[in-house]
């Protein structure tokens, strides 16, 4: 649907329906703005949720034979 068709359809509506269309357009635009906003992560928000074992850097037992 191009702009002219849309304009013609909206123009042919009675005044009360034009008002409803306008309200709906405002609703869609405000909904879109809410979707676009992104939350910025807060530094340290995952503190205590991640654990790395002390032997993390040690070679795996599965590969010891191939490392000799």
pLDDT of residue 25: 92
pLDDT of residue 55: 87
Report the share of the chain in percent with pLDDT over 90.
Answer: 31
pLDDT of residue 37: 67
User: Distance between CA atoms of 61 and 67, rounded to whole angstroms?
Assistant: 10
User: Distance between CA atoms of 18 and 12, rounded to whole angstroms?
Assistant: 9
Sequence length of the chain is: 68
pLDDT above 80 (res 33): no
pTM for this structure?
A: 0.46
For the stretch 15-25, what's the b/e string if a residue is b when 16 or more beta carbons lie within 10 angstroms of its beta carbon? eeeeeeeeeee
User: Distance between CA atoms of 64 and 55, rounded to whole angstroms?
Assistant: 15
Where do we find the tokens 């939350």? Answer: 39
pLDDT above 80 (res 48): yes
Average pLDDT over residues 37-57: 85
């Amino acid at each position: 649907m191009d702009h002219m068709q849309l304009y013609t359809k909206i123009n042919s509506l009675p005044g009360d329906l034009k008002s409803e269309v306008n309200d709906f357009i405002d609703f869609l635009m405000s909904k879109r703005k809410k979707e676009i906003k992104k939350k910025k992560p807060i530094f340290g928000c995952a503190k205590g949720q991640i654990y790395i074992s002390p032997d993390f850097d040690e070679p795996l037992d599965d590969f010891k034979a191939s490392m000799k």
